[in-house]
Structure 1
Amino acid sequence: MRKQHFFQFIFFLTLTILFLGCKSEKSSKTLRLGHTLDVQHPVHKAMVIFGEELDKLSKGKIKVNIYPSGQLGGERECLELLQIGSLDITKVSAAVLENFIPEYKVFSIPYMFRDKAHTFSVFDSEIGENLLLKGERFRLRGLTFYDAGSRSFYMKEAPVKMPKDLKGKKIRVQKSNMAVAMINDLGGSPTPISWGELYTALQQGVVDGAENNPPSFYTSKHYEVCKFYSLDEHTSVPDVLLIGTDTWKRLSNQEKEWVSKAIKVSTIAQRKLWAASEKESLAAVKAAGVQIFYPEKKPFEEQTKGILSLFDENKEMKTLISSIKNKQ
Structure 2
Amino acid sequence: MTTRRAFLAGLGAACAAPLLPSALRADDAATVLTATDVHVSNYPTVEAVRWIGEVLERETGGRVRLRQYHSGQLGREAEAIDMARFGAIDMTRVYSGALNNAFPLTTALCLPYAFDSVAHMRHALDSGVAQTVLDGFGSRDLVGLAVYDSGARCFYNTRHPIVTPKDLQGLKLRVASSDMFIELVRLLGANPTPMSLGDTFSGMETHMIDGAENNMRSFHSSRHFEAARYWSQSEHSYAPDILLISRRSLDALRPSDRDLLIDTARASVSQMRRLWDESEGAARQQVAEYGIELNEVDMDAFRSAAQPIRERYLRQPELQTLYRRIRDLA
Letter of the 2:148 counterpart: Y
Q: Which residue of 1 aligns with 2:159?
A: 157
Q: Retained in 2: the 8 A contact 1:58–1:258?
A: no
Counterparts of residues 221-260 of structure 1 (less than 5 Å): 221-260=223-262
Aligned in 2, Cα 1:312/1:44: closer, same or farther, shift over 3 Å? closer
CA distance in 1, matches of 2:83, 2:72: 13
Tell whether 2:187 aligns with 1:188: no
Q: Retained in 1: the 8 A contact 2:97–2:110?
A: yes
Q: Percent identity?
A: 30
Q: Which residue of 2 aligns with 1:67?
A: 69
Q: Which residue of 2 aligns with 1:44?
A: 46
Counterparts of residues 245-284 of structure 1 (less than 5 Å): 245-284=247-286
Q: Which residue of 2 aligns with 1:10?
A: none
Q: Which residue of 2 aligns with 1:305?
A: 307
Q: Which residue of 2 aligns with 1:202?
A: 204
Q: Which residue of 1 aligns with 2:127?
A: 125
Mean CA deviation greater in 305-314 or 28-37: 305-314
For structure 1, list consecutive stretches of 5 or more residues without a partner in the other structure. Answer: 1-23
Backbone CA RMSD of aligned residues: 1.4
Counterparts of residues 85-104 of structure 1 (less than 5 Å): 85-104=87-106
Letter of the 2:229 counterpart: K
CA distance in 2, matches of 1:60, 1:195: 34
Letter of the 1:143 counterpart: L
Q: Retained in 2: the 8 A contact 1:95–1:176?
A: yes
Mean CA deviation greater in 204-213 or 247-256: 247-256
Size of the aligned set, in residue pairs, is 305
Q: Retained in 2: the 8 A contact 1:36–1:68?
A: yes
Q: Which residue of 2 aligns with 1:138?
A: 140
Residue 57 (structure 1) shift:
2.1
What TM-score do you get using the length of structure 2 for normalisation? 0.89
Whichever of the two has the greater Rg, that structure is: 1
What TM-score do you get using the length of structure 1 for normalisation? 0.90
Q: Which residue of 2 aligns with 1:174?
A: 176
Mean CA deviation greater in 64-73 or 314-323: 314-323
Residue 312 (structure 1) shift:
5.0
Letter of the 1:64 counterpart: L
Residue 311 (structure 1) shift:
3.0
Letter of the 1:58 counterpart: T
Q: Retained in 2: the 8 A contact 1:92–1:241?
A: yes
Residue 260 (structure 1) shift:
2.1
Aligned structure 1 segments of 4 or more residues deviating by more than 6 angstroms: none
CA distance in 1, matches of 2:322, 2:263: 27
Q: What is the DSSP-based 3-state SS (H/G/I as helix, E as strand, rest coil) of the residue aligned with 2:65?
A: strand
Q: What is the DSSP-based 3-state SS (H/G/I as helix, E as strand, rest coil) of the residue aligned with 1:277?
A: helix
Mean CA deviation greater in 203-212 or 309-318: 309-318
Residue 25 (structure 1) shift:
4.3
CA distance in 2, matches of 1:121, 1:62: 32
CA distance in 2, matches of 1:257, 1:103: 25
